[in-house]
Amino acid sequence: MSAPGRDELVFLPLGGSNEIGMNFNLYGFGPPEDRKWIVVDLGVTFGDQTTPGVEVILPDPTFIESFRDDILGIVLTHAHEDHIGAVPWLWPRLNAPVYATPFTAFLVREKLRDAGLLDEVSITEVPLDGTIRLGPFELTLITLTHSIPEPNGLAIRTSLGTVLHTGDWKIDPDPLIGKKTDMAAIRRLGDEGVLAMVCDSTNVFVDGSAGSEAEVRVALNALIGQLTGKVAVACFASNVARMESAIVAAQANDRRVCLVGRSMHRMTAAAKSVGILSGAEPFVTDSEAGFFPDDKILYLCTGSQGEGRAALSRIAEGTHPHVSLGQGDSVIFSSRVIPGNEIPIRNLQNKLSDRGVRLYTERDHPHIHVSGHPCRDELKQMYQWARPEIAVPTHGERRHLLEHCALAKDMQVPIALAPRNGDMVRLAPGHPEVIDEVPSGRLFIDAGMVTPENGEALRERRHAAHNGMLNVSLVLDGKGRLAAGPQIRTLGLPGDEDLPLSEAIEELEDEARAALENMDRSSRGDDEAVRTLVSRKVKKACQRIWDRRPIVETVVLRV
């Protein structure tokens, strides 16, 4: 337990531990009654089949919101959505200055502009390798390599010790964009003494190394050179090095490049703001691309994960206003399948194949994609450089974190802890341990509104998706007698030859009529009593007919 009046250094993940994505990490320093905080990253994750209608999910900031006056700053390690995507949604609840490198700051400003918050948020651009001083914390940026420009680790120095917070990273010997991993800085940090390393766990089960973007550039150039017809390359827009490789391959093979998808345009603007992509030929608009011969155009598309509203999905559906692909054309998926996206990606690829499009993926062409996260050999190298006293894995599911702890122990790290979201870990002084569990969870963006994770609307939507819905309409006269109906409309309930849906509805209408007729006259004057009884009887009949209990809405009208 914490001791009043004694300075402590604590680490508290509120997102990104026991899950991949939605990174939201806190560091606190000082006595428990007067602790100062910094926030490292403020990201989102995305909905799936279990969250119908919900596309964006936020970490719940309720705990730290109650200490908002003690938040010294929000420091962003890089510009991926799972590290910056929640800033426009949650900043009003935290109200702290934001620190980021130029590329990341550009994209954050765009998000804040869209949210109408740009003039309210203080954003400080920090140069690469720069230092930020926030109260008892001194943070120095350490250049790493990843799948987006300007990824940084943080050396967080305090009077109780130094933490190396890696963010997302890999060791790329030839990253194409940006500098190589600053191994000398990490070694110097190790020589000074690293109290704890809070480290990416995404690829802890993958042997070897992630590979280099330079390998991808060679593979894309060779593959595109073999293809005829129109070519589309689908990749993450945030991977500017991959975009540049596709652009270089297109130019080498006498093709002009057309960007398709809003994210492609936004990331290109961010890259050009910091001097990247300056050598690319002017892009062709999607309305102009159709005038080029098929073998003279390359489309650089969003939607590699099968996102329904992304460019590639609209092309596959045949609903894109300017871009079409068909027999003799090719789509290169220069990306990996993110766990959970298998079904939409498979559906997307089947639709493209049905149009006669030839597909190329990392399964049949392994070198057209490399991961942005460290595999086991890279993790071992990082531990050899940093030599921390404590390993704190993050950015991984439970099995990733526990395997990462085992790897750290194999690397002779004395202590390894795998906190869950909400576990407050005291790193110093004394023996590192979980000293508290604070509220944590998720907030859903539902129709543009922030709602609780288990809000009523989503519960009803899930219930309706599984069990169906039906509406019962009754018209009663002044004496409570049935004047019209009951009339039942169903949604999502089946029928077959043995029991057509029309017959099932008649049976339900009989149940509703019988329920009303069995009520005493005085109760029929109470609309709520009528609704409750009729709904209950109809729901029981549905259980008998379909072995389901749909949502039943009973409407009572009086004449």
How far apart CA 162 and CA 195 sit, in angstroms, is 5
How far apart CA 20 and CA 83 sit, in angstroms, is 11
Residue 309: pLDDT band by 50, 70, 90 thresholds?
A: confident
pLDDT in tens, 487-542: 999 998 898 888 899 999 999 999 999 988 888 877 888 888 888 999 999 999 99
| Count of structural domains, the chain | 3
pLDDT in tens, 201-230: 999 999 999 999 999 999 999 999 999 999
How far apart CA 539 and CA 533 sit, in angstroms, is 10
Per-residue pLDDT at 273: 94
How far apart CA 540 and CA 522 sit, in angstroms, is 24
Position 311 pLDDT exceeds 80: yes
DSSP, collapsed to helix, strand or coil, labels residue 195 as coil
Domain boundary among 332, 366, 400: 366
Indicate if 448 and 362 belong to the same structural domain.
no
How far apart CA 386 and CA 94 sit, in angstroms, is 32
C-beta separation of 4 from 23 below 8 A: no
The CATH number of residue 509's host domain is 3.10.20.580
Could you tell me which residues come within 8 angstroms of residue 298 by beta carbon, excluding any fewer than 6 positions away?
224, 230, 231, 232, 233, 246, 249, 250, 255, 256, 257, 258
Question: Burial level of 426, CB count in 10 A (0-12/13-18/19+)?
Answer: buried
Indicate if 16 and 155 belong to the same structural domain.
yes
**C-alpha 265 chain-centroid distance:** 20
Asked if omega into 432 is within 30° of 0 (cis), the reply is no
Domain that holds residue 553: 468-558
How far apart CA 387 and CA 191 sit, in angstroms, is 8
C-beta separation of 546 from 501 below 8 A: no
Indicate if 190 and 320 belong to the same structural domain.
no
The CATH number of residue 186's host domain is 3.60.15.10
How far apart CA 364 and CA 15 sit, in angstroms, is 35
Residue 2: pLDDT band by 50, 70, 90 thresholds?
A: low
**C-alpha 374 chain-centroid distance:** 19
Within-domain flag for 29: yes
Domain boundary among 427, 452, 477: 452
pLDDT in tens, 422-443: 999 999 999 999 999 999 999 9
Question: What's the per-residue H, E or C state across 102-134?
Answer: HHHHHHHHHHHHHCCCCCCCCEEECCCCCEEEE
Indicate if 217 and 179 belong to the same structural domain.
no
Indicate if 263 and 355 belong to the same structural domain.
yes
How many C-beta neighbours within 10 Å does residue 544 have? 9
How far apart CA 44 and CA 24 sit, in angstroms, is 9
Which residue from 184, 175, 106, 98 is spatially nearest to 142, judged by alpha carbons? 184
Per-residue pLDDT at 245: 97
Instruction: Provide mean pLDDT across the span 103-107.
Output: 97
**Mean of per-residue pLDDT scores for the chain:** 94
46: part of which helix (H) or strand (E)? strand 45-46
Per-residue pLDDT at 1: 63
Percentage of the residues of the chain whose pLDDT score is greater than 90: 81
pLDDT in tens, 117-170: 999 999 999 999 999 999 999 999 999 999 999 999 999 999 999 999 999 999
pLDDT in tens, 384-419: 999 999 999 999 999 999 999 999 999 999 999 999
Whole-structure pTM value: 0.89
**C-alpha 469 chain-centroid distance:** 31
Position 82 pLDDT exceeds 90: yes
The CATH number of residue 297's host domain is 3.40.50.10710
Which residue from 75, 71, 83, 137 is spatially nearest to 100, judged by alpha carbons? 75
